[in-house]
């Protein structure tokens, strides 16, 4: 931004965002330039409650109401990188929350469909994403464990809440060659981040991306409410 003295100044948020990308994300090994660019473009301070804006770029998740959280920036970057997105890809996200990860995904892909079970969170995320100009994101209220069958298949699917297993409906809605990333574990508050690649119509390959702690995925093919 250019000010009266002719010098370029960063706002405090832009400075904090740049430091976040360098210190929390690139330093921990995220390399995909599209992901780093997306993380340096999305204004995270617009996705947190007003009393949390000073902490928007902290290296941790933050509460967003309804007992839910906006994920730690590094985890958003790690999951987005693991999806190996290309500019023509269509993505399904389960767990819109604040809409922050949907905006990061929308910077890296063609279209993002995102599902949130809390109507209030979905409404605020939808308004926020529209205000910021993310015309390639659709937000729906519902049980994301069942996916979005009318819009399938998806090149990439990401769940930002942890379930006991990968929902069958999501595997069925993944395109051949598609990537799915989600936290999976036998406990409601600690999981392993898994990536599943659909290599053929009837073949899925899974690898493990490390330990994480997400809120539970509640639904017909997740945990009971």
Contact residues: ligand SAM, CB under 6 A:
68-71, 94-95, 97-98, 100-101, 115-118, 121, 143-145, 160-161, 214-215, 217-219, 222
Report the residue number, 7 or 21, with the smaller CB distance to ligand SAM: 21
Cis peptide before 44 (omega within 30 of 0): no
CB nearer ligand SAM, residue 167 or residue 178: 167
Of the candidates 140, 128, 138, the residue with the CA atom closest to the CA atom of residue 47: 128
Q: Is 71 known to be catalytic?
A: yes
Is 79 or 176 the residue whose CB approaches ligand SAM more closely? 79
The Cα-based distances of 42 to 5, 98, 200, 221 in angstroms read: 27, 13, 35, 31
Cα separation of the two ends of the chain = 47
Burial 137-160 (b: 16+ CB within 10 A, else e): bebebebbbbbbeeebbbbbbbbb
- The nearest distance, CB 152 to ligand SAM, in angstroms, is 16
Q: Which of 52, 71, 98, 124 is catalytic?
A: 71
Q: Report in angstroms how near the CB of residue 4 gets to ligand SAM at its nearest.
A: 37
Minimum gap (Å) between residue 205 Cβ and ligand SAM:
25
Q: Nearer to ligand SAM by C-beta: 101 or 196?
A: 101
- Shortest reach from residue 93's CB to ligand SAM, in Å: 7
Nearest to ligand SAM of 96, 155 (CB atom):
96
Shortest distance in whole angstroms from residue 198 CB to ligand SAM: 21
- Residue 95: in which H helix or E strand, if any? none
Q: d(Cα 176, Cα 201) in Å, to the nearest integer? A: 6
Query: In 3D, which of 35, 37, 45 has the Cα closest to residue 14?
Result: 45
* Rg of the chain on CA atoms, in Å: 17
Q: d(Cα 32, Cα 78) in Å, to the nearest integer?
A: 10
Residues with catalytic roles? 71
């Amino acid at each position: 931004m250019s000010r009266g003295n002719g010098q370029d100044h960063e706002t405090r948020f832009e400075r904090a965002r740049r430091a976040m990308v360098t210190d929390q994300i690139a330093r921990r090994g995220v390399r995909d330039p599209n992901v780093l660019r997306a993380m340096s473009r999305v204004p995270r301070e617009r996705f947190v409650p007003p009393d949390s804006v000073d902490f928007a770029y902290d290296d941790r998740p933050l509460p967003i109401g309804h007992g839910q959280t906006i994920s730690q920036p590094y985890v958003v970057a790690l999951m987005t990188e693991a999806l190996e997105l290309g500019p023509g890809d269509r993505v399904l996200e389960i767990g819109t929350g604040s809409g922050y990860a949907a905006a990061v995904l929308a910077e890296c892909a063609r279209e993002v469909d995102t599902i949130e079970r809390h109507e209030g969170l979905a409404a605020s995320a939808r308004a926020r994403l529209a205000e910021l100009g993310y015309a390639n994101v659709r937000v729906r209220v519902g049980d994301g464990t069942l996916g979005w069958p009318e819009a399938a298949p998806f090149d990439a699917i990401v769940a930002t809440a942890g379930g006991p297993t990968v929902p069958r409906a999501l595997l069925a809605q993944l395109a051949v060659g598609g990537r799915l990333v989600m936290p999976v574990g036998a406990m409601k508050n600690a999981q392993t981040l898994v990536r599943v690649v659909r290599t053929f119509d009837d073949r899925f390959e899974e690898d493990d991306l490390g330990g994480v702690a997400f809120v539970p995925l509640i639904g017909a093919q997740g945990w009971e409410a």
